[in-house]
Amino acid sequence: MCALALLAVAPAALAVKPYSVAVNETNFPDTVFRAYVRQHFGNIIYNDEVMYNAAAKTFNFAGKGITNLKGIEYFWCLEYLDVSNNPKLTKIDWGSDSYTAEKSLRTIVANRTGLTELT
């Protein structure tokens, strides 16, 4: 379950703008991953979608030819990731944000990949 942080703030500060991320080649360079994100979220993803959309909690890319998971750091409620049978995938970078998929991830299936690094 994703945790929400409650902060004591002044009323004017409560109007927090949600972040949004364009689904493009810069933010999601892998064509398979980008197509999946577009299919489930459209051309822009918003943080509230990441929290409430079931498609943001489970990614199954087994044997799909994934080579790069840049952009996965935006899915901070991800609980299950299957990247098995993707021999050209060598690294997963969770990003440096304090809310990353790495913190909510319960299961990662990564057999028969080229993974040598999880950062």
pLDDT per residue over 53-70, tens digit each? 777 889 999 999 999 999
**Model confidence at 95: pLDDT above 80:** no
Q: What pLDDT, on a 0 to 100 scale, did the predictor assign at position 6? A: 31
Rounded Cα–Cα distance for residues 16 and 59 (Å): 28
What sign results for the dihedral spanned by CA atoms 93, 99, 103, 106? negative
- What is the average pLDDT score of the chain? 78
Domains of the chain, residue spans:
20-118
pLDDT per residue over 8-19, tens digit each? 333 333 333 457
For the segment 28-55, the average pLDDT, to the nearest whole number, is 83
Rounded Cα–Cα distance for residues 117 and 18 (Å): 31
What phi and psi, each to the nearest 5 degrees, are found at residue 21?
-130, 130
Task: Please give the CATH architecture assigned to the domain spanning 20-118.
Answer: Alpha-Beta Horseshoe (3.80)
Residue 80 DSSP symbol: E
- Of 116, 28, 31, nearest to 74 by C-alpha is 28
Residue 60: what residue type? N
Highest average pLDDT, of 14-28, 42-56, 62-76, 93-107, comes from 62-76
- Of 107, 112, 116, 101, nearest to 33 by C-alpha is 101
